[in-house]
């Protein structure tokens, strides 16, 4: 189950994944050290929601709707969509993100104007690539020095590109 974030989610985000160096390793932000910094960022996301629907969904367990399990984003640009995601470390390997990604891949490609849905993952993050493959996405290649992952390097990193088209 996913929904738009609200400010009262900040503490749960902070406690479950935003401070975890393993979860944030291949993301574009460093682990948060102060709740106030996360709240500032979350306030921005909430303000941007109407202009950029899908900028971030928070994901919760189906049978425990108060238990945060991760987040997901989908951006639509003309005929294509791009996604990003994370799952809390205790739930890695349980198929949660594969289920979420399957839903959004099907949703996007059912739209008459969307012909491609894609995602990127760091070359050193094969688990994320496997999630994309399980959701029906195909490895398309490596984009050299494309994304900043500040927890790994101060320089742009190579990423693998996956997509599904219709």
Count how many domains the chain has. Answer: 1
Q: What is the mean pLDDT of the chain?
A: 96
- pLDDT tens digits for 103-144? 999 999 999 999 999 999 999 999 999 999 999 999 999 999
Q: What range defines the domain where residue 133 resides?
A: 2-165
Distance CA 135, CA 163 (A): 10
Asked whether the predicted pLDDT for residue 85 surpasses 80, the reply is yes
Confidence band, pLDDT 50/70/90 cuts, at residue 95: very high
| Better-predicted residue by pLDDT, 69 or 63 | 69
Q: Write down the pLDDT at residue 50.
A: 87
Confidence band, pLDDT 50/70/90 cuts, at residue 72: very high
Asked whether the predicted pLDDT for residue 6 surpasses 80, the reply is yes
Confidence band, pLDDT 50/70/90 cuts, at residue 53: confident
Contact predicate 124/152, CB 8 Å: yes
> pTM (2 decimals)?
0.93
Q: Write down the pLDDT at residue 63.
A: 85
Q: Write down the pLDDT at residue 66.
A: 85
Distance CA 12, CA 33 (A): 14
Q: What is the CATH number of the domain that holds 110?
A: 3.40.630.30
Asked whether the predicted pLDDT for residue 74 surpasses 90, the reply is yes
Q: Measuring CA to CA, which residue among 88, 101, 147 is closest to residue 121?
A: 147
Contact predicate 152/125, CB 8 Å: no
Distance CA 125, CA 85 (A): 13
Asked whether the predicted pLDDT for residue 1 surpasses 80, the reply is no
For residue 150, CA distances in Å to 15, 31, 96 come to 21, 10, 26
């Amino acid at each position: 189950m996913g929904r738009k974030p609200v400010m009262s989610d900040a503490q749960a985000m902070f406690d479950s994944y935003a401070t975890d160096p393993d979860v944030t390793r291949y993301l574009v932000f460093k682990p948060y050290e102060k709740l106030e910094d996360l709240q500032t960022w979350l306030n921005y996301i909430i303000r941007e929601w109407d202009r950029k629907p899908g900028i971030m969904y928070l994901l919760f367990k189906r049978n425990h709707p108060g238990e945060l399990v991760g987040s997901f984003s989908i951006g639509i640009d003309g005929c294509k969509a791009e996604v990003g995601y994370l799952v809390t470390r205790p739930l890695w390997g349980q198929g949660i993100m594969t289920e979420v990604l399957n839903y959004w891949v099907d949703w996007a490609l059912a739209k008459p104007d969307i012909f491609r849905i894609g995602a990127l993952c760091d070359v050193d993050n094969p688990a994320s690539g496997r999630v994309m493959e399980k959701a029906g996405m195909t490895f398309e290649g490596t984009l050299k020095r494309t994304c900043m992952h500040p927890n790994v390097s101060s320089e742009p990193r190579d990423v693998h590109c996956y997509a599904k088209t219709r």
